[in-house]
Each structure stands twice: as C-alpha cells, then as structure tokens.
Structure 1
C-alpha cells in the first residue's frame, strides 16, 4: 500500500520479515532497487535485511538498495554529491572542542552552579542537536538546567569557534552528517520512491526532520512503543505516537502473532508494559 504506513511490531512478531517482504513487494511491482531507501539503527540490521533480499532476488539487485543507519546513509549520499567532508572520530573532535573550551575564563561564582566542563558541554551540545525542536541552544539549555544559563554566552562562543574550525578544515562528526544532509536537502532532492525505517520508536527529532526533508513519496515505518532504547541520543517516543497526526492519511497496522514467545510470557509482559505511553 503506497502512502504513509506505520507497522506496530513487538519483538518476535516478524518485523524483519515484514520489512524484507515489503522491499520484495516493491521490487516485484516495478520499483527499482536504487529507488528504495532503508534506514536502520545499526548497520548490522541493514546488512541482514539486504542479505535476505539477495536470497530472494540477487546480490546485484540487493546491493543497489541504499541501506544503513541515518549516519551511514547520509555519509554515502554526501560523498556521492562530492561534498568535501572528512569524517573524524568522536574523540578527535571532542579533544578539539575541549581545547577551545579551555581557552575561556570563567569568573568565580561561588554562589552559583559550577560551569560544565568541556567534555560534558560537548556531550550536551550533541544532545541538543539531536533532540531540539528548533529552539536555540540557550533556550534549550535553560529548559534542561536553568542554573547554567549564566554561562550560555561563553558556551555559545565555544560552540561557534568549534563549528567555524570544523567548516574551515572540512571536518565532520556523526551529528554533522545529519545536519549537513538536512541543509543539502533544502536544494537537492533524491528520487526515492519509498523510504523504510526500522526501529522507528528510536527516531529523534533531528532524524525525524531529516526523514521529512527527503520528501518521501511513500513511507513504511516499523516500530514498537515499548522498545525505545535511544533516549540518551534524544529519541522521542512522541514521534511514533504522533504518526497519524503528522500524516493525516496514514495507515497504522499491528502485527499481533508472536513467533518467539508463549502466551503466558506474553500475558505477563503485557501486564508490565500496559501503562506505557501510547498514541
């Protein structure tokens, strides 16, 4: 079914088979493999699904599918567009950030909260990039910890110098892959007929904006309200919960048959999670 589709699939209900089946359906109905984008939260999951597709069709067809994490797919597409970037390891750019931070002087405020150290500020800025809903860093920080607002001008100065240096040398980290891709998509469109998203419940606001920026003709998302594990990276359960509101003509399906657990175990699990947040 073309359009915006959300599949609610708890563990053991055949989530991977459903995604592979959907890709097979697309290929059998004339969609070219390079018109399919598969986004997962681990490259291992993407490789497994592509491998299953190759068993049904061929390795040649399967390898033409653009598949991987949000970060790896963004990196591939940016390289295809010959955008000059050098992906650095997180610890390398964190060291650069800390060296910039250490040049700043903080006034002694014995009656106030201590400022974040450079490493923690780097992590907070990363969380901001992934979890903000279009507010600026100072506003976001104030909401998270109002005692740090007094240092916001210094923090922003550190962040500005850090971003300028990265731009000067063409360095990017994993967050930059997504923000750069988001900027590129303002002018460049890719011809993906359908985008499939695995573990949709772990999507964070930055990834959600990136997904929308691709302007998918058809969207097929698979997830489960009760399996979100990426809160540390800003994942927002509200994204999957608001799917029907954000896409008014969306279809929501639920896979109910479990191939992994017996009924007593499922009944017990249901009692434990029945009060979790839902749509």
Structure 2
C-alpha cells in the first residue's frame, strides 16, 4: 500500500498548483514535501476530513485545536511560509476530473464520511448569515467570554487590532506605544477637531473611543453588540474622565439612529460585517 503522505501529496496536487508548500507527516509516519519546509503533522484522517468539510481557515483551525493537526516548530513561521508559497502561485480552478480524482484519493485515505465532531466551545449559530440576531449571538459568544481574559492577551489600551510600528528598532518602543501611534494615525486621517462627532462602529474595549475623546476632544458615539464591552467602555470613560464626551450603545451597526456625524470609523470589523 502506498504511504499516506504520498497520497496526500497527490490529492493536494489536484487542488493546488505546484509542489507542496509544506512538508507533511501522515498518521502512518510517512513524509512528503520539501525537506526545508515547515513540517505539518496529520495525526489522523480526521484532519483531512475537517479540511474537506470546511476548506480554508476554519477547517485548518479546528483541526489544530482538536489535535488532529499540529506544526513542528513555530506556528506563525509555518503559516507565513505556507501562505507565501500559495500566494505567489497563479491559482487555476481545478477541473472536474481533478476534483473526482481528489475525491477518490480522500476515500482511500479514510477521510470520507460525515463531518467530524465540532470542538467544544464552538458557537452554534442559527438564522440568516449576518442577520442582526445571528451577528448578536456571534459577537456575544466571542467577546462576552470575559474582559479579564482579553486583558491577559492585550496591552493596557485593550486595542484588539493591528498596531502601527513607527519605531521598530527602538528597544524601548512597546506594543502599547505602537497601538497609541495607530490610534493617533486614525484620528489624523479622519481630520478630527475639537467638538466633532465621531461614530466608532465595533468599538471593542474603547481604545479609539477614549483616545479620540481624550486627545482630540471629540464627542464619540461608540457601538458594540457585546454587553461586556459596552460595560467596560462606559466604566473606562468614567475612569479616564471623558464620560461627558462618550456615549456607548449596545446596538447593531445597522440600527444606529440619528446622524450628523463628522467622521466614522470601523477598525478591523470587516469580518463581522460580511
């Protein structure tokens, strides 16, 4: 019988152009792929089954969370390497014959069958995709987990988005500094002036809301679907002395009433909008 890694390489060859972007070790111990590439370990056919049922990031993440798939070495380096390798190749839609051959290989590898059991803790969402009720349930499941939990992961600004590194070679320059520089860059791009009205959609834990109110003296309407975030921002505004400038609302962005805003921001919430 052919080693599982060889058949995996053949299967992926029907779907991705060029050689394997990573080295693969299958559940039978066999290996395939470039010797100098990051090693991806598939511990059971369920890893492949998850990817077949949920192609893309979600299937990959669930295979990793359940332990069906693992990385030997630095996870971020492996993902970056694989991403670059795939991104640099021209994508060609697989032909029906290639898809049929890939399906036959999946059956022989034992990856065909019903969807694997979902990991514990995954949201069970119902309703129309990106409807207000479904969005509210998704946001609550994610962000109402615990403010204390997110405080363990984030810097003191509680900014939950990419930072803007203006002095990366300065050893004294921290993530908190880069987040402040990001918030100030946004305010400059918006051209905020004292007395302006800013709408902060998907305000998170209020990093932009509080920064704009404190540093630029603007009146901010902050909107979130997370009760934990809403309460945190309201308390933070009081603590930082800008509660007279901040109005935080528990509301879907589609249901924002009023108008007359001078500027609006939605920092890295595109994945929630759809």
Higher RCO by CA contacts (8 Å cutoff, separation 6 or greater): 1
Same fold (TM > 0.5)? no
Greater share of helix residues, 1 or 2? 1
Q: Radius of gyration: which is bigger?
A: 2
The TM-score, its normalising length taken from structure 2, stands at 0.26
The TM-score, its normalising length taken from structure 1, stands at 0.26
